[in-house]
Structure 1
Amino acid sequence: MKPDKTKETVEKYQTVFIESPLFKSITDSIASFAKDITVIRCLALGSPTDSNYARYQLALLLQLAKHLSSPLISLYDPIFTPGDKTLFESFNLKIEREFTADSKTTLYFLPHAPIDLTESIFTKHEPHYVLGNDIVSHTDRQTETKLKEKYPMLATMVHVTKKPKVDDGGVDDGFQVVSKRTRYAWKRVQYDLESVYFNSVKVVKFKSKKNDPWVIVESHLFKSITKSIASISKDITVIRCLALGSPTGSNYARYQLALLLELAKYTSTTTISLYDPIFTPADKTLFESFDNVKVEQEFTADSKITLYFLPHAPIVLTEEIFTKHKPHYVLGNDIVSHTNSQIEKNLKDKYPMLATMVHAINKPKVDDGFEVVSKRTRHALNKVDVEYDLESMYFKSVKVKKFKSRKDDPWDYAFSDLAFIEIA
């Protein structure tokens, strides 16, 4: 993504953070020392021009700086590109590999920093305030002995979080003491608490809400989808979405809309065209709040630059789209499993385009990295030879890549049976 477009996206993400419970939780937790912070040191940000994760992280960084009366921001990551550096200059941020500052006036922001870097920061800079990975869960895969040997500073800090606290008269400072799983109790590890720079360690964990947009971005599902469409992402300038449902009335539709908006950011999309007869006035007001989103029943566009997004579209609508618009790229129901309840002859009679596409999928293919989706035997007892006129079709091949959500994904059935269909 170009620096100017990245900047626009990051600024939009800042407005998302302002309203989020996550940002409120963070600012509440740092309120007691917020006036003391004059510098934010950020490491392991990633490349904002290349990664949507990094764009969200940069948006949070900038919003924190605003909340803290705009302190100096110093950042470094060896993967920064020339485009990233241009972007940072537009925000007046300093890129510096070497860094020295008073640790009592510095907030370290380490989004997803590897454990080696985290150990190095705590050892070398002795920070007092860090926003980063939870040091307890981030080290919990290590046995206590190995953790102490490899990462002595982190091991000691984790040990301190487990120590019973002296009763201070029942004053609640808002911090949760985090305990970790028992680490091989039969092995005693010695800690020299007198030699470390701290007396206590407090950890506050933050949780994103299920409907926060970055939940989609950070998901395995989104990574799988973007990997599958990576080769065409620069060509896509329009997304046509049908059968979305009502985002103001359905949680499934809200997740589907969140995915739609993130896909637009990942690709080169300048226009999102959508329509569903069940859209309410509230839905239309919601869509108006997004840039480049148009509600339109009639639609025409070059199919080679258009991605059709058809979440849970009925089979009749899917047949109509393939017949009328001849799309090349579709993110929607897997056309094989979606038609599998039909006898082949009946499918050909009722939905000739879909039947021919399914037939093309089932033809043997050279292995090109795509998974060939096979369908179940269709009522073998009623098997009738069905003829297909492949020469008259607008396509020569059909590829299907199915996606699976994970059990702990919050969107339930919002993306069940989802697949990327590439028609060439």
Structure 2
Amino acid sequence: MEELQLGIAKYREVIHNSNFFNEVKETVLVENGYTKIRCLALGSPSESSDARYQYAFLLELMDFLNITQISLYDPVFTKLDKQVFASYVVEESFEPKNDDKVLHYIPHAPLSVMEQILKNEKPTAFLGNDIIAHTDRLTKRKLADLYPSMAILVHYSKTDPVEDGFVKVLPKSRNNQNTQTNQNTQTNQNTQTNQNKRSSRNGRKSFKEPEIEYDLNSVYFDGVEIKRFKHNYVKGDVWGNSFSDIAFHNIHTKK
């Protein structure tokens, strides 16, 4: 256990001095008034390097927010893990729900687990997989059928699926604008001609997502804001994929 604790302490130092954690501190503000952290889907720190980094992050987050009340659960926790967590509460069920003083930390939960967390624990804010990046492999219909609460959260999202949350706009000279306009016009004409040829050749229409009728009354929220980070995953970082898709989600609960 002592060796594990020493390893976690070294990981904490890496997290503490990282650009990523500086970004997190600017996003998850002390002024938000969180008094408790609920940590789910952490993995086993005694058996996984990723989980050790994620646990080290949790400890740094606790210190930054000056929080001592921690509730953790993952069915994969080992006896050694629970010894490491001796100062905190390991519990499957959790109260209270829909509490804006509780920050959920959910490092890498699969969609099925996230669906249950939304239904059972009703988080108002969580650090976890970016809900857009995490669901973009599914069509809207399949997402709604398999994970209805997650589908509604994605539906309410007002952000675009970009890597860093920013869009670059570069100034152009008038000549460049005219040239670009002509190029775009020609490109659009060629594209449309090719599309028409393909359409007439195979008689098929391009795929269009069906309109989904969401059961908005089935969820406790009516909006979400997502803050993405630039430095959570940089090639060559020592923590690898530990924080590859993490983002901060602020969920607007119904009044």
Is TM (by shorter chain) over 0.5? Answer: yes
Alignment length, in residue pairs? Answer: 205
Task: Check conservation: 2:39, 2:73, Cα contact below 8 A.
Answer: yes
Matched AA of 1:387: E
Equivalent residue, structure 2, for 1:220 = 19
Partner of 1:297: 92
Give 1:406 shift.
2.6
3-state secondary structure, aligned to 2:93 = coil
Per the alignment, do residues 391 and 278 of structure 1 end up closer, same or farther by CA in structure 2, a change over 3 Å counting?
closer
Q: Which residue of 1 aligns with 2:139?
A: 343
1:401 maps to 227
* C-alpha spacing 1:256/1:363, structure 2 compared with 1 (3 Å): closer
State the distance in 2 between where 1:325 and 1:277 align.
17
Q: RCO higher in 1 or 2 (8 Å CA, sep ≥ 6)?
A: 2
SS of corresponding position for 1:279 = coil
Q: Secondary structure at the match of 1:312?
A: coil
Deviation at 1:225, TM superposition (A): 1.0
Structure 2 distance, partners of 1:420, 1:372, is 15
1:388 aligns with 2:214: yes
- Distance apart, 1:243 and its partner CA: 0.9
* SS of aligned partner of 1:420: strand
Residue in structure 2 matched with residue 277 of structure 1 by the alignment = 75
Superposed CA offset, 1:151-187 (max 9, x none): xxxxxxxxxxxxxxxxxxxxxxxxxxxxxxxxxxxxx
Are residues 382 and 333 of structure 1, via their aligned partners in 2, closer, same or farther at CA, if it must alter by over 3 Å?
same
Q: Which whole-Å CA distance do the structure 2 matches of 1:363 and 1:264 have between them?
A: 28
In the alignment, residue 309 of structure 1 is paired with which amino acid? Y
Give TM-score, length-normalised by structure 1.
Answer: 0.45
Matching of residue 327 in structure 1 with residue 123 in structure 2: yes
Question: How far is 1:322 from its partner?
Answer: 1.1
- The correspondence of residues 90-105 of structure 1 with structure 2, limited to 5 A, is none
Mapped partners of 1:389, 1:350: distance in 2: 14
Where 2:28 maps in the other structure, the secondary structure is: helix
* Conserved 8 A contact 2:159-2:226: no
Residues 323 and 372 of structure 1: CA distance in aligned 2, closer, same or farther (over 3 Å): farther
Match of 1:316 in 2: 112
1:229 corresponds, among 10, 25, 28, to 28
Alignment check: 8 A CA contact 2:11 2:52 kept: no
Distance 1:248 1:392, change over 3 A: closer
Does the 8 A contact of 1:248 with 1:254 survive in 2? yes
Looking at CA atoms only, which structure, 1 or 2, has the larger radius of gyration? 1
TM-superposed CA distance for 1:266, in Å, is 1.1
TM-score between the two structures when normalised by the length of structure 2: 0.73
Aligned identity (percent) is: 40
- Which residue in the other structure is 1:239 paired with? 37
Contact 1:361–1:372 under 8 Å retained in 2: no
Shift of the 212–357 alpha-carbon distance from structure 1 to 2, 3 Å rule, reads: closer
**Code of the aligned partner of 1:301:** P
Q: How does 1:22-421 map to 2 (within 5 A)?
A: 211-230=10-29, 232-233=31-32, 235-288=33-86, 291=87, 293-302=88-97, 303-362=99-158, 371=165, 381-390=207-216, 393-403=219-229, 404-421=232-249
2:236, 2:132 → 1: CA distance?
A: 26
Residue 151 (structure 1) aligns with: none
The 3 A distance-change label for structure 1 pair 363 and 410 is closer
Superposed CA RMSD = 2.7
User: What amino acid is the match of 1:294?
Assistant: V
